[in-house]
Structure 1
Amino acid sequence: MQTIRRALLATALLAVAGLAQAQQVFRVTVIPDESPTELARKAEPLVKYLEAKLGMKVEFTPVTDYAAAVETLINQKVQLAWFGGFTFVQASVRSGGKVIPLVQREEDERFKSVFITADPAIKTLADLKGKDVSFGSQSSTSGHLMPRSFLLAAGLEPERDFKRVAFSGAHDATIAAVAAGKVQAGALNVSVWEKFVADKKVDTDKVRVFFTTPPYFDYNWTVSSSMPEALRNKLAQAFLALDKNTPEGKQILDLQRATRFVPTKAENYKAIEAAARSAGLL
């Protein structure tokens, strides 16, 4: 009888352990730099791919704003976050350096922002004086911080020199605001602009780029430093293994607007941190 009880207990414990493993969920979030439907569309095949590679359930967890993306990662409500360079810096500062950037797109090693307009009179940054100008989110690297830093370098202080400073909240919303004439110019991520042009979602006879910034490091996939090293390495390898020569890899990389993913490190974002401090945003 004792032997039977022990066997039943062992079976029960194995069942509980198996259930716990089955219920383990790996949660992923992204900064909301595009519309919710676009973010969900981009996430779907990546989530399925990571499930297969990690051997656990993966869920996409949308957030309402950039600050929420930072907080959900440092409070470990999600295990992986897609950050811009500035949101990575914010997460690093908020957590006391307890976040690790794993990988970035190859394109993020030399990322750029563009300034767009539908006003024929605007040809240079200096022509923005006295105009209504939109950035994206206040916490956006490519939609606010870096465009602002290049404006400051050109001797332009937005709050002093522009008629009005607006924040659209997202790159696609900035394009819409310029196209609709709500503002005379806007700054945004070059990748989103190029996608809108390729998809013919913007009339380039009306809206055009008049200034492109110098390159800088930008987006990355970040985890908490408390993540076990083995899982961290497995996750990084999953991204690094994505290959455009396979149907699955091509689908994911195309949606992520990436040629491939490459390793990154916190030191790559020191210039972003310096720009944020110089602009009084950190």
Structure 2
Amino acid sequence: MKTKLLLPVILLFSIFLTACSGGNTNNASGNNGSKAKTDDVIKMVWYPNESGENLKASRDEIGRLISEATGKKVEHQLTTDYAIAIETLVNNKADLAFTGAQSYVEANKRNKAVQPIAVKTGESGTLDDAKYHSWLAVNVDKQDKFKENGKFSLDTLANTKFSFVSNSSTSGFKVPSQNIIAHFSKQQKYANLTQEDLMQGGPLFSQVLFGNSHQGSAVNLLSGKADVAAFCDTCVKDYVEVSKGEANKVGSVYRVKDGAAEPFNTVVDKEFTLMSVTPVLNEPFVANKDSLGQEDFDKIQALFTSDDFANNEKIFAPEGSGKTALYAKKGKERLVAVEDKWYDPIRELSK
């Protein structure tokens, strides 16, 4: 008797919950539990690398320009974790993001509505040299431990403490891990080495750390927590300077600048040298087109690829100006529209 009385109550309660949730369990792309819809606020999520106080002026300027172009309020969402940023974008909780190539590929795989808006060119002003660099670095006073016959060798990475950025980072994990696996898998002992192995440590590394940002990975190295660290050139450009050699050359030495901001303020004057340098496709600005809408996507793409945007020194700091901005400008750098297929080489790294 009690069971018969409860059934109608449970049924009514279920109907009530369904009504409150809109009765929808799939988004426009079928990838999560909430239907995307546009509104009067554009939410822009930033990775840990770009969430620091040193880039606030660039973030604010970009937000101001987007607001002018669309007539909508822009809200910045700062993060301390790559995964949070990706989840926010994929699950329709953010409209725009500035991501790494690997993170974009991951987000697009889970939600096809996530598409690139624009990417920074190289000095030529074209996509031909639209690349930055993935580094493996070691402390200067320990560099001889990583050499064989006077040259840096990946063989010396075995049994070391290694720092990655995040397993969603292109230059801070995907690219270096692929290079390391390609090298060590030729040896019988490591024939079955996988990216999961590298994330966990054994059988190659004695310990694996994650910096959660490129800056964090670099500081893991300079503070002595790691013997070797993976991070990229563009994310540490405001904190370090070349003290010996040429930029992005194996064997060149970088020094942490006087007055460097957090987290480098604890390792000022420390030096590291590059044992490996690999070019990587530039990071895109991306949008969730379902939550942003095609009209605003087009307006923002036109803004980002305009001459005024490329000449804005709060976003592109001219070389030698002493200014800090999202991008450094040495030549004709600007943003240009890019399609999803441009990132196919990054997809190939996961196959």
Contact 1:34 1:172 in 2 (8 A): no
Cα drift, residue 163 of structure 1: 1.6
Instruction: Describe the SS at the equivalent of 1:50.
Output: helix
More strand by proportion, 1 or 2? 2
Cα drift, residue 179 of structure 1: 0.9
More helix by proportion, 1 or 2? 1
Q: Identify which of 96, 104, 120 aligns with 2:119.
A: 104
CA RMSD of aligned residues (A): 2.4
Alignment of 1:91-170 (within 5 A): 91-95=107-111, 97-107=112-122, 109-118=130-139, 119-120=142-143, 121-122=145-146, 123-155=152-184, 157=193, 158=198, 159-170=202-213
Whether 1:264 aligns to 2:338 is yes
Q: Identity over the aligned pairs, expressed in percent?
A: 25
Contact 2:80 2:212 in 1 (8 A): no
Alignment of 1:232-251 (within 5 A): 232-243=297-308, 246=311, 249-251=312-314
Moved more, 160-169 or 100-109: 100-109
Q: Identify which of 27, 32, 44 aligns with 1:28.
A: 44
Q: Identify which of 223, 226, 233 aligns with 1:190.
A: 233
Residue aligning to 2:274: 209
Q: Identify which of 91, 95, 106 aligns with 1:90.
A: 106
* Structure-2 separation of matches of 1:115 and 1:41: 30
Cα drift, residue 109 of structure 1: 2.6
Structure-1-length-normalised TM-score: 0.80
Deviation string 1:205-250 (CA, Å, 9 cap, x unpaired) is: 731112101x23241111123243222111011111154774xx11
Contact 2:51 2:79 in 1 (8 A): no
User: Structure 1: which amino acid aligns with 2:41?
Assistant: V
* Structure-2 separation of matches of 1:92 and 1:153: 26
* Structure-2 separation of matches of 1:245 and 1:262: 10
User: Structure 2: which amino acid aligns with 1:163?
Assistant: S
Q: Identify which of 289, 312, 315 aligns with 1:225.
A: 289
Structure-2-length-normalised TM-score: 0.65
Instruction: Describe the SS at the equivalent of 2:167.
Output: coil
After superposition, the Cα gap between the structure-2 partners of 1:128 and 1:243, relative to the gap in structure 1 and judged at 3 Å, is farther
Contact 2:41 2:72 in 1 (8 A): yes
Cα drift, residue 94 of structure 1: 1.3
Instruction: Describe the SS at the equivalent of 1:262.
Output: strand
Q: How many residues align?
A: 251
Contact 2:310 2:335 in 1 (8 A): no
User: Structure 2: which amino acid aligns with 1:113?
Assistant: S
* Structure-2 separation of matches of 1:58 and 1:242: 22
After superposition, the Cα gap between the structure-2 partners of 1:142 and 1:196, relative to the gap in structure 1 and judged at 3 Å, is same
Contact 1:27 1:60 in 2 (8 A): yes
* Structure-1 separation of matches of 2:310 and 2:57: 21
After superposition, the Cα gap between the structure-2 partners of 1:98 and 1:56, relative to the gap in structure 1 and judged at 3 Å, is closer
Instruction: Describe the SS at the equivalent of 2:237.
Output: helix
Gaps of 5+ in 1: 1-22
Cα drift, residue 181 of structure 1: 1.0
Cα drift, residue 197 of structure 1: 1.7
* Structure-1 separation of matches of 2:55 and 2:272: 24
Instruction: Describe the SS at the equivalent of 1:268.
Output: helix
Instruction: Describe the SS at the equivalent of 1:186.
Output: strand
Cα drift, residue 110 of structure 1: 1.9
* Structure-2 separation of matches of 1:69 and 1:82: 10
* Structure-1 separation of matches of 2:316 and 2:224: 34
* Structure-2 separation of matches of 1:242 and 1:65: 33
Gaps of 5+ in 2: 1-38, 123-128, 147-151, 186-192, 242-255, 261-266, 318-324
* Structure-1 separation of matches of 2:214 and 2:45: 18
Instruction: Describe the SS at the equivalent of 2:274.
Output: strand
Cα drift, residue 134 of structure 1: 0.3
Whether 1:71 aligns to 2:87 is yes
* Structure-1 separation of matches of 2:57 and 2:164: 24
Contact 2:55 2:326 in 1 (8 A): no
Contact 1:141 1:218 in 2 (8 A): no
Cα drift, residue 203 of structure 1: 6.0
Moved more, 110-119 or 67-76: 67-76
Contact 1:243 1:250 in 2 (8 A): no
* Structure-1 separation of matches of 2:234 and 2:102: 17
* Structure-2 separation of matches of 1:188 and 1:242: 31
